[in-house]
Structure 1
Amino acid sequence: MTSTLSASAERELERRANHKLAVLRHVEEVSGNVAATCRYYGISRQAYYHWLKRYEAEGFDGLRDRSSAPHYSPTATDAEVVEKILWLRQQYHFGPEKIAMYLKRYHDVTISVSGVWRILKKVGLNRLPASQRYKRREIRWKRYEKQRPGHALQVDVKFIEPLGQTGKKKRYYQYTAIDDCTRLRVLKAYPTHDQKTAIRFIDHVLSKLPFKVEKVQTDNGTEFGQSFHWHLLDKGIDHIRIRPATPRLNGKVERSHRIDAEEFYRLLEGQVIDDVNLFNDRLQQWEDYYNYDRPHGALAGSTPYERLKQKAQDPLS
């Protein structure tokens, strides 16, 4: 493919050089007048004399197009920064805004969102493959954020596709809890999917979160049935079930599962993970990164833990 493109570009250079030569010969062999030839071909006399000077000095090769790029561009982005931008785009499929956020936070590199976009466009990476693009909905729902940590906790379950397994495949389920205010998350994988598992998970969540949980919000799955419901009430925690067929009401946990797919599970492709403890080791690493290191666009580039500290200092922020 590359050689075909190079041959095509070479033919175009040859064609343009022949056109310039035809203009020069038109003066000598047809019109005998530079001004008349320039009017005929729609070019300026400055262009004609520029081509003539190069032709006299270098022959036909002097008529070939040359790069108009400056020999030195003091405002050009460093190659190392460009490499980081391309790596984040190809590895994580981040958009320009998130790439600029990462460069500022982790590399102390300040670059505008438009600057990142121009670099991606230059190398043809400004548009993701169709399978990786976010599909916008016709109806956009406004999400409200609770102002107090623990005021509302969204809980959901994600089925984990077996990774690299052969033969009889094991099934795993990722239970996820996310705080509506700070976006702090707790994750754990289980080989079972029922109310007993959901109760074990919520007890695990309550033991890890550094604040009191007032309300838990779930969908209407059987794992969040009556036993789970009364278990929460016994702990003094309200349990709210969203209306059927309205996953947008659990939007924060749904969105976090999409992040898991894009930034965590996609990077595990090709690895064999057939042990729930190994799954949980990896999930714990990802949970720590998400909570303590990953800048969050909805939090203006802060991490969930930084948001928690901010709320502790200024509850009204």
Structure 2
Amino acid sequence: MKAGVFNAHTKYIILKHALKEKNVTHTCKLFGISRMTYYKWKRAYQKNGMMGLEIKEPQKPQMPNKVDEVIEQEILLYVARHPEDGPKRIYYELMAEGFEIGESGIYNVLRRYKLSRKEQRMDYSENKDMQIKSRRKHRESTICFDRMKEIYPGFLVTQRIDFMGTFDRIGKIYQYSFYDTTSKWVVVKLYNKKQDIDIWNFFELKLVYLLKTFNLSIKNLVSERTKIFFPYFVKGNKYKEIIEDLNINHYFVSSEKDTLWNDMKVFNEYLMNEFYNKITKNSALDSFFKVERELNKFVRNYNFTSVISNGKNAGKTPAEVVLKRAAENNADLDTLPLWIQALLNVSRGGDKDG
């Protein structure tokens, strides 16, 4: 069925179905429309309500390399602020802020204004009027989540990438961390090559599975905005697909500018002291694969046996907080995977805090 045969009321029903099911892909397959069509309707409804679903705009050919005036000014203002960055870096930054433009389109703008070389951009930045430079709004999230008020698991989740160091017999280790600020539940993924980092593939395979297992959802997701790792949070289409599919409010925030990263930093320090610093002393950990497997056991033990020391969940383990929320969401706890049930039995048996 072609999208053009749907009337405004039917389009509205489809949008509501996706919102209720929290699965855009399934909704699109069910009603026989493309994801592109769905998001076009969604933007139209958000902008003009039901009237937006009735408006039929003429289709214009897509020209990814042609840049409109607004985006062109964004590129020039970015160059004025960060002249050291080239087309690829500008592409990542603007994509994260919601601008649809290809890397080649950015390069064409730079070339047209004679800014394709770093020296040219440096001169442009130095000579640009400061008032024009400051016109660009600072889009980095300044949202206050009640200063870390604990709401419920999934209300506020932070994620970041860290270089943990270079280790004998193992090599370099990069760590992706996913941290729920309410339950203190942590998920980590290791990489031994920076170019192999693909967090959204891991997010889809591992984290979405956990959300479905516990019948949970993420309301606010904050990604750390650091220059070295920022591109790994925005590259590819998977980023936008997952955020939109799961109806997540997503923000980029620099760790230097907000205290919401404090708990995750404390956890990483704990990992460094209790795990990473002991790698070289353990001769059995002689490969990246073995280190990764051992860390997974370490973090799993933490989630099921460590005790939260403060806040309204003090005295509970991260797993207990998550399972309480799962029960409130009517999750069928009897059908939990066997490994979760086994760990729950161990933790209830009085094992020592991990």
TM-score bin (small chain): 0.3 to 0.5
Structure of greater Rg: 1
| TM-score between both structures, scaled by the size of structure 1 | 0.47
| TM-score between both structures, scaled by the size of structure 2 | 0.43
